[in-house]
Chain A
């Protein structure tokens, strides 16, 4: 096995950091993330409030810790659900072909015809804001990428000798798919999952920033930036720290994705 690159290690470090921050938020936080203290609004970073206080006097440091919970929960659960939907639909489409493949791939084409976050944003506009709904939205929009990769992989894998051998021995389709094909197409899906998690963190905080993400009273990174916008991003620390958290976590997932790609798929390695 190849040694992990510096950036991959940095990615693992960053994600573990945010994961632990979210997990131990109640212990690490110095204040209640929902508490306000209007008299101390916009107070600069100090020894009691490490990263300063926001428009309502909320403690930015504690809010960022709790925000990690929201970001990671939404991105991990959405990615897992999207991965499963995409894997099942995409691999059966590639395996069975025919009208089923045609149907699935047309749906994928239509969903991918919406640019970037537009469809996610539109759905969030019509659904009431909640974490559950966010996971639902990211899952039903996000499976398309996984379906495409799964199908492409299955088209290649189903021609392999071991699949033909299993089939000639009379194995059932479901056995062939689950036991012989899936384990062999997992690598590219994991790479994609890692990038998807970073993308969903940006997506989730974009929605909250625009006011259609998690409910406004929930401490999340996007909501913090939304609040910062209300004071035109002044003073600067109300906008800088939550954004830094978003960027570092996205970078973390991207670095892990790059590392996985180098490790699992040498043909993709950048020159």
Chain B
């Protein structure tokens, strides 16, 4: 019983902490419009636009109202789904939700790549610490951390689409076309997670229960599987969750490199067209997704490691 109240209050507390964060995010996204020097309507339509068009757009963006009312209008539009893209009569959310699956697909493959490569690499490095394997995998991760997406992507295109034509350069052509973007997006996370797995596995390897397990004659592969891997993964999961956010913003760049039709390219296109409501909505959407992923990670972490809940 006590256990359940703990879990409940833990979840409730985390949900409660979300409220000010979400309000803060919405205020920042709303105020982005004020960073435009001069009149947003003039910037969007050009100074020579018809007065009636200017008046229409001004009313649509609530710019004819007082500052607090502008914010209220922004929130109202947001919740009622009336926030319109400037260049279509579609609701912004329709377009965002149309594009989001592609981003999700890319992010999931990137994450799968990162996790599937980093955990074996990290464990191997920890077990064979100081060996050639260890040094070369740490060197790869060092490269991976310093290599920006908008360079790794082109390098992969040059190598594996032009020099050795294994993969398509861009466009959605089934599974093959997701491989290069996913590797591009996932490499930084792979690098970070393999370093982290290594450090955390090294820590676990020094624990008494590992020595006990070995002393009582447990086979080495079971020691690694049942004891090292399980305990070493706890911090890795948290960082993987936090890194998902970096994945989301990295997706903006990776999608641009590969012309991937996701929310990142939508954001970049909207910026080029000065479709500011769309830009604001994309930013808001990505930020809220990130906050929710962090919440999920927190809750998952509390579930895996009950010690966290008591803090």
What residues make up the interface of A, taking CB atoms closer than 8 Å to B? 106-107, 109-111, 113-119, 121-123, 125-128, 198, 202, 205-206, 209-212, 222, 225, 228-229, 232-234, 236, 239-240, 243-244, 246-247, 250-251, 254, 270-271
Contact = CB atoms under 8 A, between A and B. Distances in A.
20 contacts: A110-B24, A113-B25, A114-B287, A114-B290, A116-B245, A118-B249, A118-B287, A119-B287, A121-B252, A125-B279, A126-B33, A126-B276, A206-B253, A225-B154, A232-B157, A236-B158, A236-B162, A243-B150, A247-B148, A251-B146
B158 A240 contact: yes
Contacts of A116: 245-246, 248-250
Interface in B256-275: 256-257, 267-268, 271-272
A118 B249 CA distance: 6
A239 B155 contact: yes
A250 B146 contact: yes
B97 interface: no
B210 interface: no
Contacts of A270: 199
A251 B287 CA distance: 28
B117 interface: no
A241 B203 CA distance: 40
Contacts of B253: 206, 209-210
Contacts of B147: 247
Given A225-B151, A243-B154, A211 B272 contact: yes
A128 B38 CA distance: 11
B116 interface: no
B304 interface: no
- Say what secondary structure dominates the interface of chain A: helix
B213 interface: no
A127 B155 CA distance: 31
B205 to A, nearest CB: 10
Contacts of B25: 110, 113-114
B32 A211 contact: no
Interface in B143-161: 143, 145-151, 154-155, 157-158
Given A116-B246, A118-B249, A232-B169, A205 B148 contact: yes
Interface string B192-227: 000000010011000000000000000000000000
Nearest to B22: A113
Contacts of B246: 115-116
B237 interface: no
Interface of B: 20-21, 24-25, 28-29, 32-33, 35-37, 142-143, 145-151, 154-155, 157-158, 162, 169, 199, 202-203, 245-246, 248-250, 252-253, 256-257, 267-268, 271-272, 276, 279-280, 283, 286-287, 290-291
Contacts of B33: 126
Contacts, number: 139
Given A110-B25, A126-B32, A202 B287 contact: no
Contact of A206 (B150, B267, B271, B279): B150
A254 B191 CA distance: 14
A240 B150 contact: no
Given A118-B252, A127-B37, 15 more contacts: A113-B24, A114-B25, A114-B283, A114-B287, A114-B290, A126-B276, A209-B256, A210-B253, A212-B271, A225-B150, A228-B154, A239-B155, A239-B158, A247-B151, A271-B203
A107 B28 CA distance: 11
Which of B150, B245, B253 counts the most A-chain CB atoms under 10 A from its CB? B150
Given A115-B245, A116-B250, A270-B199, A122 B21 contact: no
B249 A115 contact: yes
Cβ-closest 5 pairs across A and B: A115-B245, A243-B151, A110-B24, A116-B249, A233-B154
A225 B158 CA distance: 13
Contacts of A123: 32, 35
A234 B165 CA distance: 14
Contact of A115 (B157, B276, B290): B290
A118 B283 contact: yes
A157 to B, nearest CB: 23
A9 B287 CA distance: 39
B155 A250 contact: no
Given A113-B24, A229-B257, A254 B162 contact: no
Contacts of B145: 254
Contacts of A210: 252-253, 256, 268, 271
A243 B155 contact: yes
A239 B151 contact: yes
Nearest to B152: A243
